[in-house]
């Protein structure tokens, strides 16, 4: 396959020395456009045999290494051991030779790693597509430290170094072949048991044929996390246990304006801050921003800040395997109000000092409590310094005129789900729903309609049926503390009631509830299940 070749002569003048000329050459060739941020970058060169002067001086390697480091990369010098007997026949002699010839961290600005290991046997065999004389090439493992899977444009596996890929991953790779062929690249993250898997797809063209090359690498062991702490989706996958965005909309001016703003923001790269009460669809609107953006071919990563402990934050902000070190992703942080002050400070400094907002699309969501969002330091930083695009989702209490539309959608969904044939509500039943305060907004209304449809005795749900449901909900709401506890029950039930009372009093704020009860947020989460 023909490629452009960039070269420069070895002339220099008083305005530009040879190393500066090499930097200009790399920029002209497009190396400055490569995403090096937090990536391991192999600089392949010949370290020279002892006594031999036929090698590039360390100064050249230093220029390339500095170029990579200036762009956030992690460079290292590398070469493979020789088959012949000499100063580079094994890794120890090889590194001694490099040192003798002036290659060391002081002169080059980076470390030396021999790609094929101690004895030259640590290698990966890679097929050469369309190769006439060489069908397979042996590449040092340090250069190929990941699983590689190659598919034809028709979705047939052409080559793979991975022998035990789970069926779900194999199916995902086949499904995404057409996306890679059409778009040229793809980045996905997947939860796989207790690990996170990074999948990067690239288009390879050889002899007029298109191939899809996947590079799979384990990002981190996430066994310390609950499975809901970090979740990963692609554009053609729906959020778990989530409803379509239409289930949160309506014709009112407030929600129409919010939806229009969401449509505008989707085409932008700026970070977005979403505010709203529980059940107003913040997660769904975040997914809409992702699925209608230029990053939709890559993963959508949802991080629940309320479930992160100190170890979780250390992983996100300090680990090389963190999804925040990747690029081209849409990352949504939910329940931001639950972040403790000490983590707020760390997160704020990370946002300020890293390139995460330049290389990824970030979405933050806060849950309103009593009609307001906690004005903590992180919130002020996001609104006043970062200048996030702001999106507020109005509660049902501010748009009761939307309830009939939502009820119609929810009845149809319940009919499909349960095989029922409910047509609608009586006039009195609809007025009762419109006059009701819904603390959990659309999510609570959806749940109520689902139950009303299942228990409906005719084609139309009556006002009496609605009142019965609402009265039952009222009776089931935990009583005020002064009403006392019924101690003639199992201890587990008593503890659960106490926890629920405090949780309701703290307006469903897990951080405040856990602090008041003297337990961790993870313990509280298990108690609330």
Both tokens of 431, joined, read: 């007025």
Both 257 and 361 in a single domain?
yes
Answer yes or no: is 186 within a domain.
yes
pLDDT of residue 39: 76
Residue 35: its pLDDT value, please?
Answer: 74
Residues 6+ apart with CB under 8 A from 279: 438, 439, 440, 441, 442, 443, 444
Please state the domain count of the chain: 5
Q: Read out DSSP for 156-185? A: -EEEES-S---HHHHHHHHHHHHHHHHHSE
Q: Are residues 472 and 487 in the same domain?
A: no
Share in percent of the chain as helix, strand, coil (round to 5): 45, 20, 35
Q: How confident is the model at residue 194 (pLDDT cuts 50, 70, 90)?
A: low
Considering the domain boundaries, does residue 10 fall inside one?
Answer: no
386 and 407 share one domain:
no
Q: Are residues 302 and 260 in the same domain?
A: yes
Task: Kindly state whether residue 308 falls inside one of the protein's structural domains.
Answer: yes
Last residue of a domain, one of 349, 369, 394: 394
Q: Does position 366 have pLDDT exceeding 90, yes or no?
A: yes
Both 354 and 261 in one domain: the answer is yes
Distance CA 119, CA 142 (A): 13
- Long-range contacts from 425-430, C-beta under 8 angstroms, 24+ separation: 425/460, 425/461, 425/466, 426/460, 426/461, 426/462, 426/463, 428/462, 428/463, 429/460, 429/461, 429/462, 429/463, 429/465, 429/466, 430/403, 430/404
282 in the same domain as 357: yes
Q: Is the pLDDT of residue 490 over 70?
A: no
Q: Does residue 378 fall inside a structural domain?
A: yes
Strands in 241-299 per DSSP E: 272-276
Same domain, 273 and 385: yes
From 123, 158, 188, the end of a domain falls on 123
Band of residue 479 on the pLDDT scale cut at 50, 70, 90: very low
Residue 128 belongs to a domain: no
Instruction: Write down the pLDDT at residue 445.
Output: 95
Please check whether residues 216 and 250 belong to one and the same domain. no
- The domain that holds 501 is classified in CATH as 1.10.10.60
Euclidean distance between the first and final Cα of the chain, in Å?
Answer: 58
Asked if pLDDT for residue 448 goes beyond 60, the answer is yes
In a domain, 140, yes or no: no
My answer on whether 382 and 237 are in the same domain is yes
Whether pLDDT at 481 is above 90: no
- Residue range of the domain that includes 499: 481-528
Q: Does position 164 have pLDDT exceeding 90, yes or no?
A: no
Answer whether residue 6 is part of any domain: no
CATH number at residue 272: 3.40.50.300
Question: Who has greater pLDDT, 26 or 164?
Answer: 26
pTM across the whole model: 0.62
Residues 236 and 381 in one domain: yes
For residues 217 and 269, state if they share a domain. no
Please report the pLDDT score of residue 524 as a whole number. 75
Tell me the CATH number at 190: 3.30.450.20
Residues 287 and 384 in one domain: yes
Of the two residues 483 and 99, the one the predictor is more confident about is 99
Cα separation values, 49 from 53, 86, 99, 108, Å? 8, 7, 11, 18
Q: Which residue has the higher pLDDT, 488 or 320?
A: 320
- Asked whether residue 17 is assigned to any structural domain, the reply reads no
Looking at 342, 367, 394, the residue that finishes a domain is 394
Please determine, for residue 529, whether its predicted confidence score (pLDDT) is greater than 90.
Answer: no
Q: Determine what percent of the chain is predicted with pLDDT higher than 90.
A: 39
Tokens representing 260 are 């229009």
């Amino acid at each position: 396959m023909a490629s452009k070749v960039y070269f420069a002569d070895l002339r220099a003048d008083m305005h530009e020395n040879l190393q500066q000329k090499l930097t200009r050459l790399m920029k002209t060739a497009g190396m400055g456009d490569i995403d090096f941020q937090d990536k391991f970058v192999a600089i392949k060169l010949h370290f020279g045999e002892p006594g031999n002067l036929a090698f590039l001086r360390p100064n050249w390697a230093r220029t390339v290494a500095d170029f990579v480091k200036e762009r956030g990369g992690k460079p290292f010098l590398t070469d493979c051991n020789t088959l012949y007997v000499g100063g580079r026949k094994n890794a120890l002699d090889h590194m001694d030779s490099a040192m003798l010839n002036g290659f060391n961290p002081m002169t080059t600005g980076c470390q030396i790693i021999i790609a094929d290991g101690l004895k030259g046997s640590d290698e990966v065999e890679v097929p050469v597509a369309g190769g006439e004389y060489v069908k397979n090439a042996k590449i040092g493992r340090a250069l190929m430290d990941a699983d590689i899977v190659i598919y034809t444009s028709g979705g047939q596996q052409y080559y793979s170094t991975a022998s035990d890929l789970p069926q779900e991953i194999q199916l995902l790779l086949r499904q995404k072949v057409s996306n890679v062929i059409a778009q040229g690249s793809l980045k996905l993250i997947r939860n796989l048991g207790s690990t996170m898997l990074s999948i990067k797809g690239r288009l390879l063209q050889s002899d007029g044929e298109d191939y899809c090359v996947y590079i799979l690498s384990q990002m981190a062991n996430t066994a310390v996390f609950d499975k809901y702490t970090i979740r990963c989706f692609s554009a053609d996958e729906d959020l778990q246990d989530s409803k379509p965005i239409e289930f949160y909309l309506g014709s009112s001016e407030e929600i129409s304006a919010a939806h229009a703003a969401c449509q505008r923001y989707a085409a932008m790269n700026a970070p977005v801050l979403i505010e709203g009460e529980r059940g107003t669809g913040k997660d769904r609107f975040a997914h809409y921003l992702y699925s209608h953006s230029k990053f939709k071919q890559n993963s959508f990563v949802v991080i629940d800040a309320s479930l992160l402990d100190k170890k979780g934050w250390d992983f996100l902000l300090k680990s090389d395997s963190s999804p925040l070190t990747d690029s081209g992703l849409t990352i949504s942080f939910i329940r931001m109000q639950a972040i403790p002050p000490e983590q707020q400070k760390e997160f704020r400094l990370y946002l300020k000092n890293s390139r995460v907002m330049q290389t990824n699309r970030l979405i933050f969501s806060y849950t309103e409590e009593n009609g307001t969002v906690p004005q903590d330091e992180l919130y002020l930083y996001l609104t006043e310094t970062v200048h996030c695009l702001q999106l507020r989702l109005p509660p049902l209490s501010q748009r009761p005129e939307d309830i009939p539309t939502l009820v119609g959608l929810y009845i149809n969904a319940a009919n499909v789900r349960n095989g029922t044939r409910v047509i609608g509500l009586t006039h009195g039943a609809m007025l009762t729903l419109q006059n009701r305060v819904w603390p959990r907004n659309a999510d609570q209304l959806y749940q109520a309609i689902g139950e009303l449809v299942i228990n409906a005795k005719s084609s139309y749900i009556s006002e009496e049926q609605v009142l019965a449901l609402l009265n039952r909900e009222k009776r089931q709401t935990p009583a005020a503390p002064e009403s006392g506890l019924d101690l003639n029950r199992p201890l587990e039930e008593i503890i659960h009631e106490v926890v629920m009372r405090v949780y309701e009093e703290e307006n469903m704020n897990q951080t405040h509830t856990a602090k008041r009860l003297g337990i961790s947020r993870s313990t509280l989460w298990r108690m609330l299940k």
